[in-house]
Amino acid sequence: MEPVAVLMNEHRTIERVLDAVERAAAYLVRGGSVRPAFFTEAITFLKGFADGRHHHKEEELLFPALVEAGLPREAGPVAVMLDEHVHGRALIAAMADGARRLADGDAGAARALSEASQAYVELLRDHIMKEDHVLFPMAARMVTGAAATTLAADFSRAQADEAVAELRDRFAVLADDLAREAAALG
């Protein structure tokens, strides 16, 4: 599977978790009860899969190939994507703090957790849209020939590792569980 297809498939999995987080955060702020571990598990997914696997492949494989093909790293699309990755990490940290406070019984945690969650969901949805409709088509046009072959081989190696495949499967199950739990909320 070519690199852009891998990343776009991962986006669909990430979007399922974003939908679940958005639903749970909205339910929580309306006064509903959501187990704090729901958010902790969502954060595990977001840190481990969305950031740890997906963004890592972008930052270590795709973005350098785009820079090599002529895009600047410090300005333009690559810089914007990198800045959004950093902003997303800060929002995940705020979500983790809110989830911890919620688990500790802090009365103000629900609103803070919901706001951080909603901000993250909004950021990532916009980020995914830009990548799917602007950056990835740009990559397909710009990274060609030997560079495309090298990038595809690098992605293939990143995807083929047995431990990575097992981890990917566990994250897929976690995404399913979160989606199912969020769908059951009132």
Residue pLDDT, tens place only, 19-78: 999 999 999 999 998 988 999 999 999 999 999 888 989 999 999 999 999 999 899 999
Mean pLDDT, residues 114-128 taken together: 97
Helix boundaries (H) for the chain? 3-29, 36-45, 56-57, 63-68, 76-103, 109-130, 136-142, 145-160, 162-183
Q: What is the pLDDT of residue 167?
A: 80
Q: The pTM is what? A: 0.92
Residue 110: pLDDT above 80? yes
Q: What is the pLDDT of residue 162?
A: 66
- Contact (Cβ atoms closer than 8 angstroms) between residue 22 and residue 121: yes
70 backbone φψ class: left, alpha, beta (φ>0; ψ -120 to 50): left
Q: How many CA atoms lie within 13 A of 119 on its CB side?
A: 16
Which CATH superfamily, name and number, covers 3-183? nmb1532 protein domain like (1.20.120.520)
